[in-house]
Structure 1
Amino acid sequence: MEDYIAVYQKGDVSQCKDKRGTTSTRKLDDSDIITHIQSFPAYQSHYTRKSNPNRKFLNPGLTIRKMYDLYKEKCLTEMTEPKKLKYYNKVFNTKFNLHFKAPHQDTCKTCDSLNFKIRGTDDENVKKEFEVQKELHQRKADSARENLQIDAKKINDAYVLTFDLQKALAFPKLTTSVAYYKRNLYLYNLGIHCFNNNTGYMNVWNEIEGGRGSQDIAVCLVKHLKTHAVTQNHVIMYSDSCTGQNRNIKTTLSLLKLVQDPDTSITTIDHKFLVSGHSYLPNDGEFGIIESASRRHEQIYSPDQWIEIMKTAKRKEPHFVVTEIKNSEFKSTAALEKCITNRKKTTCGYDFNWLNIRWLRFERNHPLQFQFKETLNADMPFYKVDLSKKQQGRPAYLYNIQQGPLYPSGRPVTIAKKKDMLDLLPYIPPIYHKFYKNLTVDIPTRSSILNADERSSDDEITYD
């Protein structure tokens, strides 16, 4: 007020602006906050890649408050003044597309889309059309689940199972705040639930042993069936509709080879697919038991500890049967693919799409042919696809084809990831150090750079 009077007395009224009640326009420097947020590893989710390709996800153990507390710790060590929580939150929300928990597919995208369209239109005829579409979609989903319940009772005549891949399980799991800034290694688990003995089988491997593609999944399925269903004639399998992992030519060839194997009694394999968004399987409940048990362990230093958690997670019998899959067991289907013609037409000339297939059948009597339906209706006929090459002579049986290793030199980690692992060694007991010190590093080459997109799609981590 004194400054105002002094200016007034000098006669320069243009300078006497009362700024009481106005907001300061001084812009705060947010570079330290941006740098701190960028220091946390972020991952993309395959559930949102198409709809929101720029969205990434942080470790689900983090929160804004936790990140801000870590930011204050950093400022304290650097002897700088931290910004307020409100400003940290503003920078996080306005300059980043980050979330803490990737969406699990608990809701159906088709149902959600149709519900949105139904609510968004005032035209009764259009609304009724959307409602009919939704009704048909849900009937298809209900029918698939009813088929699973019916087939689950056929245990006297067939070996019946469901399978699914659990979310990637991170290790090392540490309580130190430093770990939030570091990348993780991951353990993969293909769960197989057998209805014949009501047992869950966990097939596990870490990311330096194998990946999460269709060939990896097929290896686990074939190994399980050759171990537990070798005396069965008929196998019935259910899975979700993930085409990249379950519904493709690589998985098909692996099962065709198995059904021809003279060392087994299997003559028919039926692989059926639930409707996307409505594919809750017994495996999901078993995965929940494992994840619940892991919460009792604040620290997990190695894959062996995850395996032990799985073995003891279920307190009532039958306990989970855990099998560790080694790098040498993962086989490539490249040799099998060279022996066939990957046709896109059925024997009757129908152009088919893998995305529409709901039922695959493989039979010993048809060594280079698979059958499929676009429905689970038992009364509908199968389409047939002939994979044999048009050449003279007797076609080669797939079971005679030797498959080469899928990862001949193992699966190296990036230089940055190994550095992060070595940085965490002070917080890990020495008994586990050898595992991390012996990690093979991926030295970038021209071919690896060109194939980076293909590799990342298989290695992508999804938090659920």
Structure 2
Amino acid sequence: MVSINTENYEEPLLSTNEHAMVSYDLGVIENRESSAIENVSNGNDVSPIVYYSSPTKIGKKRRLNEANWKVNVVKRLRNSGKPYQCTKSKKNMPRRELKPSCKDKCKFKCGFKFTEEQRQSILNDYWSLGAIEKQWTFIVNSVDIIIPKQRYVKVDSEGNVATIRNNNNAFFLTISGEKTRVCKLFFKNTLGINNRPIETALKKKNNNTNISSMKDNRGTHSNHYAVNKSIKNGIKLFIESIPKIESHYIRANSKRNYIDGSKTVTDLYRDYVEKCKSQNVPYGTYITFYRIFTQDFNISFFTPKKDLCDICEAYKNITDEEKESKKQNYELHLKEKNLSRIEKEKDKNNKNILVAVYDLQGVFQCPKGDVSVFYYKSKLNVLNLTIYNLQNNSVESYVWDESNASRGVNEIATCVYKYLEKISAMAKDLDVVFYSDNCAGQQKNKFMISMYTYAVKTLPNLKSITHKYLVKGHTQNEGDSAHSQIEREVKRQLRSGPMYTPDAFVGAIKAARKKSEPFHVNEMCFDDFFDWKSICTQMNFAIMKDEDNNTVKLAGLKMIKVQSSDPDAIFFKESYADELFKKAIVVKKKRNHNSHSIHLDLQKAYLQKPGLAERKKTDLMDLVNKNLIPRYYKPFYESL
């Protein structure tokens, strides 16, 4: 590590690198990359067929910032006349300062023409230029050529004239807008330089009469190593071919994609080299592979839940001055977090209500196992919504795969509605309280509230539904423990072999809890899901203003309540500290109709099975045809 004396140097240094991780697979290249590989092997440029990521910078790893390289920092300090430490010799070089004036015997009497303050001003102006090209220009403009009136020449024994010495130079310094001639020693000592920059500047002037075009050509040779374009394109095609999925937890504010797998970047590079060798095509170095991997792609190995609060982490890392201005908002955030946890604990101990938390588990992909090719094929996504009763610890699990349905509000609302149907059939005058995160696309939206309104209207034993949203960044809850149990059971079962179908995942859910009541699994088909967006339209449902004519912003609400006694309204709180609910009419009565008498037609969300994308189904059938998935499961994959 080279230390740098950065006294008076105010440019900020870069922050620590973030590390991006990725995983992908080779087998898919046989189908999607064969034409590109052939072009590479024939020496052709494959750029016209490249289909990798967008040209904008999306990678997690920072780009090279040459301005903050230590050698360039030292260079700027040196060119500004400031103290610095040599990167190689570690020698400390002092600041550029005035040197003594010339002697009194000087014929130009330089010392009498300039005061020390004027000399210091000239020194500061010269080094404030900060670039050696500008300093060369300053020197050239301060030197005039003088042709001697008489000149003696030497003649050798053969009568040839020897080399004639160059013309003389006159040096000038400007003070108060007037050029004043000085001797060379005074010129050098005032600028704090030696002969070398003067000789270099005059030499460049003689070689190129255009002063403005003088450049520092050191290190600008054209003999740099460049990676072949075909190798770069081959690496990008290889990484792009990896099947990727979105993060359920942070996709609203992140474009990063994730890949199921346990390989490292080094493992991926070995697979890449092996593939290139088998195709007899050139391949890049690990450094080239790693840079492309981290700078041109925004992908990671896992789909992690967002455990750290971005508000809290950002507050920890700002300066004390910024903390002072943001302290009030931060303390309010912590207060809401603490109040939400107190509220949940209080509800758990209330025997007069039913309290549950629901959340969608991270995507399970099948087939799943240690077979290497599985990492490089698009796989079937299996989804699991768990509803965890906080009072008796019972868990309802709703499972479906992506060929039957998506994972939007229709699917989430249907599962919650079926849970309400089940519990309302077992109790009377039931008050239900739900907790969840703040995912706007799945539960914090008007379609989910429409489902709650429909439920209190149509389910006879349901008195009210209250949904309380946990504070962003602090949504950890008991449902996470259920997901953790399922994931541990999946890992245990994978020790005995791969899991090929969603049925294996369902079996793992049923076996996940050993010492208490097992999880209740509800396997969902496309025909089970309802269209709650249509219900919202039929209700003429809209969240606009409360009874005091204040605008209601759904994103800022902490609690929402609907009740059978007033199904046309929602009651809400904007803070856990609020004592009373506010009211807003959200079901608008249509002309000549009473909202209670309007018939609501609950329609199916899917009239037929959506199926899989052709590309994904091709990958799965390729695994079946190569016996990487046993042919026993072929009918299942053909039906997708």
State whether residues 377 and 619 of structure 2, in contact with CA within 8 Å, keep that contact through their aligned partners in structure 1. Answer: yes
The C-alpha deviation readout for 1:138-185, integer Å capped at 9, x for no partner, is 11111101100110111x211111111111111111432222221111
Q: 1:42 aligns with which of 244, 263, 288?
A: 244
Note the C-alpha offset of 1:59.
2.9
| Residue 265 (structure 1) aligns with | 461
Match of 2:595, SS?
A: coil
Distance, in Å, in 1 between the alignment partners of 2:467 and 2:619 is 41
Q: 1:84 to 1:332 in 2, by over 3 A?
A: same
Map 1:277-296 to 2 at 5 A. 277-296=473-492
Quote the residue 2:622 is aligned against: 423
Distance 1:27 1:352, change over 3 A: same
Q: Match of 2:605, SS?
A: coil
Compare 345-354 and 415-424 and name the one that shifted more: 345-354
- Residue in 2 that maps onto 1:359: 559
Alignment partner of 2:440: what SS?
coil
Paired position in structure 2 for 1:234: 431
SS for the counterpart of 1:217 is: helix
Q: Does 1:127 align with 2:323?
A: yes
Letter in structure 2 aligned against 1:129: S
Output the CA distance in 2 between the equivalents of 1:98 and 1:343.
37
What's the CA shift string for 1:352-374, capped at 9, x where partnerless? 10101111111111122221111
CA displacement at 1:378 relative to structure 2: 6.0
Aligned equivalents of 1:45 and 1:196: distance in 2? 30
SS of match in other structure, 1:267: strand
Asked if residue 152 in structure 1 is aligned to residue 348 in structure 2, the reply is yes
Q: Is the 8 A contact 1:162 1:192 kept in 2?
A: yes
Deviation at 1:127, TM superposition (A): 2.7
Change (3 A) 1:386 1:49: closer
Say if 1:388 and 1:27 are closer, same or farther in 2 by CA, change over 3 A: closer
CA distance in 1, matches of 2:261, 2:331: 35
Partner of 1:317: 516
What do residues 336-363 of structure 1 show as CA deviations (whole Å, max 9, x unaligned)? 4223241411233111101011111111
1:250 CA displacement: 0.9
What's the offset of the Cα at 1:26? 5.1
Letter in 1 for 2:612: V
The aligned counterpart of 2:210 is: none
Counterpart contact for 1:272–1:376, Cα < 8 Å: no
Aligned to 1:211: 406
TM-score, normalized by length of structure 2? Answer: 0.60
Q: What letter is aligned with 1:216?
A: E
68 and 185 in structure 1: CA distance in 2 versus 1, 3 angstrom threshold: same
Deviations 1:368-413 (A, max 9, x none): 2221111234622322224132422332457x52211111122221
| Matching residue of 1:446 | none
- 1:187/1:303 contact within 8 Å kept: yes
C-alpha root-mean-square deviation of aligned residues, in Å? Answer: 2.3
Q: Determine the C-alpha separation between the residues in 1 that align with 2:331 and 2:516.
A: 40
Matched residue of 2:439: which SS?
A: coil
- How big is each residue's C-alpha offset from its partner over 1:2-49, in whole Å with a ceiling of 9 and x where there is no partner? xxxxxxxxxxxxxxxxxxxxx962535433322222221233436555
Q: 2:568 aligns with which of 345, 365, 368?
A: 368
Residue 451 (structure 1) aligns with: none
Taking the aligned partners of 1:197 and 1:94, their CA distance within structure 2 comes to 49
Q: For the residues of structure 1 that align with 2:554 and 2:285, how far apart are their CA atoms?
A: 53
Deviation at 1:85, TM superposition (A): 3.1
SS at match of 1:151: helix
Structure-2 change in CA distance of 1:91 and 1:268 (3 Å): closer
Checking the alignment, whether the CA contact within 8 Å between 1:345 and 1:352 is kept in structure 2 is yes
Residue aligned with 1:424, SS: helix
Give the 3 Å change call, closer, same or farther, for CA 311–341 of structure 1 in structure 2. closer
CA contact (8 A) 1:70 1:177 kept: no
The one-letter code sitting in structure 1 at the alignment partner of 2:637 is Y
The answer to whether the Cα contact below 8 Å between 1:369 and 1:388 also exists between their aligned partners in 2 is: no
Residues 373, 383 of structure 1: 8 Å contact kept: no
Question: Which sections of structure 1, spanning at least 5 residues, go unmatched?
Answer: 1-22, 440-464
The amino acid of 2:595's aligned partner reads P
The residue aligned with 1:448 is none
Task: Number of aligned residue pairs: give it.
Answer: 409
Partners in 2 of 1:340 and 1:219 — Cα distance?
20
Q: Residue 110 of structure 1 corresponds to which residue in structure 2?
A: 311
Report the CA distance between 1:51 and its aligned residue. 5.3
- Structure 1 residues 321 and 185, CA gap change in structure 2 (3 angstroms): same
Q: Is the 8 A contact 1:157 1:234 kept in 2?
A: yes
Identity %: 26
Matched, 1:181 2:383: no
Partner of 1:299: 498
1:73-112 to 2 correspondences below 5 Å: 73-80=274-281, 82-112=283-313
The residue that corresponds to 1:255 in the other structure is 452
Match of 2:264 among 60, 63, 69: 63
Q: What letter is aligned with 2:605?
A: L
Higher relative contact order (CA 8 A, sep 6+): 1
Distance change >3 Å, CA 408–CA 283, structure 1 → 2:
same
Q: 1:108 to 1:246 in 2, by over 3 A?
A: same
1:326 and 2:522 matched = no
SS at match of 1:295: helix
**Aligned to 1:391, what secondary structure does the other structure show?**
coil
Q: Are the equivalent residues in 1 in contact too, given 2:245–2:257 (CA < 8 A)?
A: yes
Instruction: Tell whether the 8 Å contact from 1:68 to 1:88 is kept in structure 2 after alignment.
Output: yes
The 8 Å contact of residues 404 and 611 in structure 2, kept in 1 or not, is answered as no
The structural deviation recorded for 1:81 is 5.4
Contact 1:171 1:185 in 2 (8 A): yes
Between 1:213-222 and 1:170-179, the stretch displaced more is 170-179
- Alignment partners' CA distance in 2, 1:309 and 1:48: 26
Q: Matches of 2:474 and 2:250 in 1, distance apart?
A: 18
Aligned to 2:292, the other structure's residue is in SS state helix
Partner of 2:360: 165
**CA distance, structure 1, for counterparts of residue 452 and residue 227 of structure 2:** 63
Q: Does structure 1 conserve the Cα–Cα contact (< 8 Å) formed by 2:381 and 2:402?
A: yes
Distance in 2 between residues matched to 1:50 and 1:218, nearest whole Å = 19
Consecutive unaligned residues in structure 2, runs of 5 or more:
1-222
Residue 546 of structure 2 contacts residue 584 of structure 2 at CA under 8 Å; is this kept in 1?
Answer: yes
Separation (CA, whole Å) in 2 of partners of 1:324 and 1:375: 37
Deviations 1:412-441 (A, max 9, x none): 2111111111111121122211111122xx
Question: Structure 2 vs 1, CA of residues 194 and 380 (structure 1 numbering), >3 Å: closer, same or farther?
Answer: same
In structure 2, what is the Cα distance between the partners aligned to 1:331 and 1:381? Answer: 30
Counterpart-to-counterpart distance in 2, 1:91 and 1:381: 54
Deviating more after overlay: 410-419 vs 389-398: 389-398
Mean Cα deviation higher: 81-90 or 213-222: 81-90
TM-score (normalised: structure 1): 0.82
| Aligned-partner residue type, residue 431 of structure 1 | Y
